[in-house]
Amino acid sequence: MAPVDLDRFWADQEIARRDPFGARIPQVPLGAILTGECVYAELGIPEDYWRYDHDEAWRLSVNRAYNTRAEPVGGRRLLPEAREPWRRQANVGGLHDVFGARRIWESGSWWLQQAAATPAELKSLLARAERTEVRAVVLPPDWEAEKRRMRAEGVPFPLYRHQRGPVTFACSVYGVENLVELLLDDPPLAARFRDVILAKMLELGRVLDEEAGFTPETAPRGFSFADDQCAMLNPELYEAFGAPVLAGVFARWAPAPGDSRYQHSDSAMAHHLPALARLGINRANFGPTVSVADIRRHLPRAVIEGALAPFTYSRNDEEGIVRELLRDFGEARAARGLVCATAGSINNGTRLTSMRLLMAAIQRHARYDGS
């Protein structure tokens, strides 16, 4: 295994993760810490993401077995071994329910099903969404009983602080080609689509805030988007359709400069960096073709999570892992603000020895204090 002083690494990690821009941080913080996605290859068991999410006893037993391997390699037991309160939250609906898009489990993940295929169908869909009272759609019939249960069990109430980005959501509901054609051929209908998305997002967030007992003044700040398919639009179309949704949501839940404005876009979307800069994005996780240098040029105060390619990590390409870390650290060293994370998800196949290699490379090659 790669040589690393584990005690020193985690002590330095604790300092570095608090503020990746910190003037006194010793090293680049590690963000590519392995997750429950990685248990299958490490333990040699079949992938079963549904069971991992829904069978608590099995999940915790798998986590314990994984942690037994993780601790000597990485110096930490990485996965939870006790019940996680958030997993006991009531099952509330989402924005897709307001738009009548079915959510199905397929190929080990959730997928939204297209809800309209023509401009006429989209107009009907938008008319229904405009009339829909969000509270009636997203709260389950036994909501009052669920509220009492969550309070009794100390379970945090579900809030709405993350959403598939407006372009990705619209592509799911209406289709990729359909959305591009709509933006080009019928800008007024596209604007209506955009405005209904924003209005219902604001309504959904308000309802869940109220049910959790928050007022607009006391509600938690920050919002994150995952908008892989924003890459499908050119800058002009994104400014017309996607950016106004982000601006409206941030104005409500992230109005101050220090509030978290996060964008994940696991795609080649560097052409939207100027728009994201104007939107005040201050935490970024973009596709592996979007360089740290380009992100920093446009987002000088954003924490950059990436840009280690997920497939470099999951293929356990030792040379590539070190090479990409050195590249990213070189581009970020002067301004700091880098978190060594994957440019996208951490996938099954990524081994604990690869995480240890990354830790060793950070400790040896990505230090700010020169030691």
Dihedral sign, CA of 336, 340, 341, 342?
positive
Residue 322 lies in a domain: yes
Mean pLDDT for the chain overall: 96
Q: What is the pLDDT of residues 206-231, one digit of tens each?
A: 999 999 999 999 999 999 999 999 99
% the chain with pLDDT above 70: 100
Residues 48 and 105 in one domain: no
Q: Do 247 and 130 lie in a common domain?
A: yes
158 and 127 both lie in a single domain: yes
Same domain? For 212 and 297 the reply is: no
Map residue 273 onto helix, strand or coil: helix
Place of tokens 């299958």: 40
The residue written with tokens 């023509």 in the block is: 118
Residue 107's pLDDT is: 84
The answer as to whether 308 is a domain residue is yes
Tell me the pLDDT band of 359, cut-offs 50, 70 and 90.
very high
Pair type for strands 261-265 and 223-226: parallel
193 in any annotated domain: yes
Amino acid 7: pLDDT? 97
Q: How many domains does the chain have?
A: 3
Is 85 domain-assigned?
no
Per the CB < 8 A criterion, the answer to whether 297 and 285 are in contact is no
Does residue 280 carry a pLDDT above 80? yes
Query: Is 273 contained in some domain?
Result: no
Distance (Å, whole) CA 83 – CA 89: 12
φ/ψ of 99, rounded to 5, equals -95, 5
For the residues 299-315, what does the mean pLDDT come to? 95
pLDDT over threshold 80, residue 370:
no
| Residue 292 amino acid letter | V
SS3 169: helix
- Residue 108: the pLDDT is 85
Given this model, what pLDDT does residue 369 score?
Answer: 83
Mean pLDDT of 235-255: 98
Phi, psi torsion values for 223, nearest 5 degrees: -155, 145
- Give, rounded to a whole angstrom, the gap between the first and last alpha carbons of the chain: 22
Apex 68 CA angle, 64 and 69, nearest 5: 125
Q: Does some domain include residue 319?
A: yes
Shared domain for 331 and 294, answered yes or no, is yes
Where in the sequence is the domain holding 112, given as residue range(s)? 90-259
Amino acid 127: pLDDT: 98
CA angle 328, 22, 326 (to 5 degrees): 15
pLDDT at 45: 98
Query: Does 220 lie in the same domain as 149?
Result: yes
101 and 224 both lie in a single domain: yes
The reply to whether 185 and 125 lie within a common domain is: yes
Average pLDDT over residues 39-49: 97
On whether both 98 and 229 belong to a single domain, the answer is yes
For residue 344, pLDDT over 90 is answered with: no
Q: What is the dihedral of CA 10, 11, 12, 14, to 10 degrees?
A: 80
**Same domain, residue pair 218 and 329:** no
Check residue 371 and give its pLDDT. Answer: 62
Tokens of 216: 């607009």
Place of tokens 């897709």: 96
Residue pLDDT, tens place only, 104-122: 998 888 899 999 999 999 9
The pTM (predicted TM-score) of the whole model is 0.95
User: Does residue 83 form part of some domain?
Assistant: no
Average pLDDT on 174-192 reads 98
d(CA 140, CA 91): 7
Residues 106 and 63 grouped into a single domain: no
Rounded CA separation 181/187 (Å) = 10
Q: Is 90 exceeded by the pLDDT of residue 256?
A: yes
Q: Are residues 117 and 66 in the same domain?
A: no
